[in-house]
Amino acid sequence: MEPNEFDGTYNGAMMSVISSVKHTEPPPDQEKPALKLDVSDIKFPYKETDDVVITSQLAMDYYSSLHLAGNKIQLEWSGGGDSGSVWLNINNKQVEEIYEYHGKTLYERIHDFIINEMYDNLDYGSWAGEFSASGTADFIIEDGFVGFRGTDNYSQDDYHHVNIETRIFTVPIALIPEHINEVYVSIQDGHDGNLPEVTISLRVRGDWKRHNDELNAETQKYIEELENTLAEFFRDLMDKYEADHCYDDQGFSIENRAAEVKLTFNEFTYYTTSESFRTKEIDLLHSEY
């Protein structure tokens, strides 16, 4: 069956595929019965304007409906090192890319509910720590299983900080507007043989705004070429120290209007992946039929 174009609502094309599932919650002292699915008689019975409480059963029925209408539903996550997120894909697009997302309609609240359930299942909290985690979980109905199933890939990074032979890169002061008093260099990632991502920002110290869009074409070209040169420099360091990742940020103050600004590097911070790599199978909101 070809998937319908998903626009964030439960449209008529989907309704034509589905019929009825009861949403009765058992008493607290009883186990919830396994979800019974009859592909010929399944329905998501709520209208978009209904003010209903989002429950695990309701979410299961909704995603079962989308799945049986031919749509691919997938939870995806990535994070570590103090930041991370979980998002939902429908037919390989993030829901925020499909329609204007406010988190208020019934369907958006269901999406938020399932994303929060995955956050709880992963249990990475604020994602703080020298680790990386990523994975996907697809909504499936097969072999007696109904729900999201996937794999979380986790690895912990070991921190290293070394002194290196001093290297100095320069930016001619004539290229820098007079109100700029800091050159800020950020080095991100760089693994699997790829160049690290180097960003040079011309800033007013104390203000995080990047003023590069105010530069003339000559200065912008110089900065871009220097970013590429620094990327090569840090990739060579990664090769030398067999680093898996490197992250660094340095600000270089412009104390006077000397002929050039010197970007001096004499230390290198990098990470290697430890032996603590593991995978974990994820089953979320699943029932049996």
- pLDDT surpassing 60 at residue 78: yes
Question: pLDDT band for position 30 (50/70/90)?
Answer: low
Residue ranges of the domains in the chain? 12-156+277-288, 158-273
For residue 284, the SS3 value is: strand
Report field, pTM of the whole predicted structure over 0.75: no
Question: pLDDT band for position 277 (50/70/90)?
Answer: low
Strands (DSSP E) contained in the chain are 73-80, 83-90, 93-94, 131-142, 145-172, 182-188, 197-203, 245-246, 248-253, 260-273, 278-288
Question: pLDDT band for position 23 (50/70/90)?
Answer: very low
- pLDDT surpassing 60 at residue 19: no
Q: How many CB atoms lie within 10 A of CB 212?
A: 16
Q: Is the dihedral of CA 238, 242, 245, 250 positive or negative?
A: negative
On whether the CB atoms of residues 88 and 63 are closer than 8 A, the answer is no
Token pair of 94, please? Answer: 């993030």
Q: CA 37, CA 142: separation in Å to the nearest integer?
A: 11
